[in-house]
Amino acid sequence: MRLANCWLVAMWIWFASRMRHYAWITRSHSFRGVIPHFGTANVAGWRMFKVIEFVPPKRDLWTRRNWLLVFDGHYRVWHLRVVSVRRWETKEQALADTYFGQERRAERRLTALRPEGRRFPIH
């Protein structure tokens, strides 16, 4: 049994990479965001990166394997591909692209399908 927590494992991986990887933090899904969760991410080629995280066993809370902050977990590795990268001058533009990007892409597709690129009201 290897008792640890996600912060210890993430920092160990981060220091083992000589601090070249990214260390990240997010809020827990199971505990309504009260408990933080940590992991690392590293570049793995052109427009690809891998995320490594140490996760607790499911449905074993308050047992010998999971004491909430110290647990006998397993490693989860995500292989992710970057789809697009855009740069913006202002924070407002970046946030608009983050939160409203799908709507704007759909609007651009509709504009491209219209004759002469004119914008017609959509009812």
Q: Is 0.85 topped by the overall pTM?
A: no
> What percentage of the chain carries pLDDT values higher than 70?
79
Burial-class residue 56 by CB neighbours within 10 Å (0-12, 13-18, 19+).
buried
**Same-domain check for residues 51 and 94:** no
Q: How far apart are CA 113 and CA 70, in angstroms?
A: 56
Where does the pLDDT of residue 123 fall: very low under 50, low under 70, confident under 90, or very high at 90 and above?
very low
Is the pLDDT confidence value at 115 over 70? no
Residues 46 and 100 in one domain: no
Give the range of the structural domain holding residue 63, as residue numbers without chain letter: 6-81
Q: CB–CB of 93/104 below 8 Å? A: no
Does one domain contain both 21 and 59? yes
Above 90 in pLDDT, residue 40?
Answer: yes
72 and 35 belong to one structural domain: yes
Assign 105 a pLDDT band (cuts: 50, 70, 90).
low
